[in-house]
Amino acid sequence: MFQSSDYQRLLQQLTVFFAASTAEHSVTESLEPAELARRLMLDLPAEGKPLADLEIDIADYLTHAVKTAHPKYFNQLWGGFSAPCLMGDLLTSATNTSMYTHEVAPVATLIEKTVIAKLGQLVGFSNPEGQFTTGGSNGNLMAMAIACHRAAPHLKAKGIAKGPQLIAFVSAAAHYSFAKAAQILGLGTENLWTVPIDEAGQMMVPVLESLIDQARAQGHRPFFVAATAGTTVRGVFDPLPEIATIAHREGLWFHVDGAWGASVLLSARHRHLMVGVDQADSVVWDAHKMMGMTLTCSVLLLKQSGQMFSTFSAPGTGYIFHADEADPNDLGPSTLHCGRRVDAVKLWLTWQHLGDRGWEALIDRYFDLAAHAEALIHQHPALELVTPRASVNLCFRYHPQHPDQDINALNLSLRQTLYEKGLAMVNYAQINHQVVLRLVICNNQTRPEDITAFFEQVVEIAQQLEAERVRCHT
């Protein structure tokens, strides 16, 4: 039986947790897994305990959780906090339904269709089809599967043993999920051909053309090309119109992985980065990234309807889908999943709160913060922007003042010290064998003063680390 009093303590604990997700508190505490396990009581008991006694367990979890709503959480392509999103998540859990039939999820089904139509409209699809997925990786897998089905419909029944080898193309900066998709679908990673990127980080379109010709000369069948709209490290957008032209001319399925960058379509100032996306056959868009939804909240959008059903429908489903399997009111037959969580409600509820203009203001704010961070990097003689800023990712590093210092090792230590002290969380990557700190701006709690304070801490800690290293070598 639901008793509101049982949940008041949880709400109070969450209030304390979010109150501590501010610049005056640490982002996280750095504990080794063994030490963390020692501090917690994780063993599962033989005898249960009252709900009231769970308060201690909840407190332990929150105490040691990373504060992803903290204004200096720059570590991943997601972060921040949204009250209407949390409300939507609570509604989803409370109603506890699945998205396979209209019968068990009548309102959720209509909400998902409404959101898909809106996102498809923003992409430029006149009659879009789509569904929420378990993430961008899953969306990329589904898109490649649909492309396989279009290229070789016999695969669904007969498998991949017959016919020419299918070849897919992605850029060298594409997400690793495409390699996983090639593995899972039986294509093999050797048949996922990588197109090099230019100095700006974009797919080299002339090389794509030559690789398509090469594949055909070897007796293979090119069938799929994926452009990236917002690469994970640099935030670069591939030249979509040029890739679309080649894909259409050569008969390839054109997919756009917009998991990171598609949200710029919400902004009049920045949607130019996605010019050409309307020419795609499919698009992945993660609302749990720039739009700040809780994980997961991701969609796969298709230009033409009916392709998901033809690819993913399977026989023997009459015990779930009692009407016509192709009933458009039942979403289950057209997806890779069976049981599927309701992820549309939290996005729909947040959209009710923000409206189109609110989303636009949020995206514009991220770009303004990124410009502020870029200016601070350029202003300090010891900081270097390693690659030009393409969107809201900033790849930078600290330059030691003593030439004998190992710049890669120093920046790794800098990043680790920021983490261990709980001052900020920022990830790192390698570009041309150079370690770079990757600052990601997609946290709705971040203010200009948080960015300024972050770089002040970066310089201060880097100088301390450098001084210590100099002392050790003298």
User: 181-230 pLDDT, tens per residue?
Assistant: 999 999 999 999 999 999 999 999 999 999 999 999 999 999 999 999 99
The mean per-residue pLDDT over the stretch 134-138 comes to 95
| Rounded Cα gap, residues 213 and 443, in angstroms | 43
Q: Is the pLDDT of residue 474 over 70?
A: no
Q: How many CB atoms lie within 10 A of CB 59?
A: 14
Lowest average pLDDT, out of 22-26, 136-140, 226-230, 373-377, goes to: 22-26
**Tens of pLDDT along 74-97?**
999 999 999 999 999 999 999 999
Q: How many CB atoms lie within 10 A of CB 66?
A: 17
Alpha helices (runs of H) in 78-198, residue ranges in sequence order = 83-95, 106-123, 136-151, 155-158, 177-184
Q: How many CB atoms lie within 10 A of CB 443?
A: 24
| Rounded Cα gap, residues 85 and 68, in angstroms | 15
**Tens of pLDDT along 241-278?**
999 999 999 999 999 999 999 999 999 999 999 999 99
Q: Which residues contact 376 (CB under 8 A, 6 or more apart)?
A: 383, 451, 452, 455
* 422 and 27 Cβ atoms separated by less than 8 Å: yes
- What is the H or E stretch that residue 227 is in? strand 221-228
Q: Which residues pair with 253 in a beta bridge?
A: 224
> How do the domains of the chain map onto residue ranges?
4-67, 98-341, 352-472
pLDDT confidence of residue 158: 79
pLDDT confidence of residue 64: 94
pLDDT confidence of residue 321: 72
Q: What average pLDDT is seen over the chain?
A: 93
Residue type, 428: Y
Lowest average pLDDT, out of 161-165, 185-189, 207-211, 346-350, goes to: 161-165
Is 352-472 a CATH 3.90.1150.170 domain? Answer: yes
Q: Is the pLDDT of residue 431 over 60?
A: yes
* 163 and 318 Cβ atoms separated by less than 8 Å: no
Q: Is 375 or 7 the better-scoring residue by pLDDT? A: 375
- What is the H or E stretch that residue 374 is in? helix 344-379
pLDDT confidence of residue 391: 98
% residues pLDDT > 90 (the chain): 81
| Rounded Cα gap, residues 163 and 470, in angstroms | 64
Task: Please give the CATH topology (third level) of the domain spanning 98-341.
Answer: Aspartate Aminotransferase; domain 2 (3.40.640)
Q: How many CB atoms lie within 10 A of CB 106?
A: 12
3-state class percentages of the chain: helix first, strand second, coil last, to nearest 5: 45, 15, 40
Q: Is the pLDDT of residue 325 over 60?
A: no
Dihedrals phi, psi of 400, to nearest 5 degrees: -65, 150
% residues pLDDT > 70 (the chain): 98
pLDDT confidence of residue 315: 73
DSSP 296: P
pTM for this predicted structure: 0.95
What token pair was written down for 230? 């917002």
The mean per-residue pLDDT over the stretch 280-307 comes to 96
Q: Is the pLDDT of residue 4 over 90?
A: no
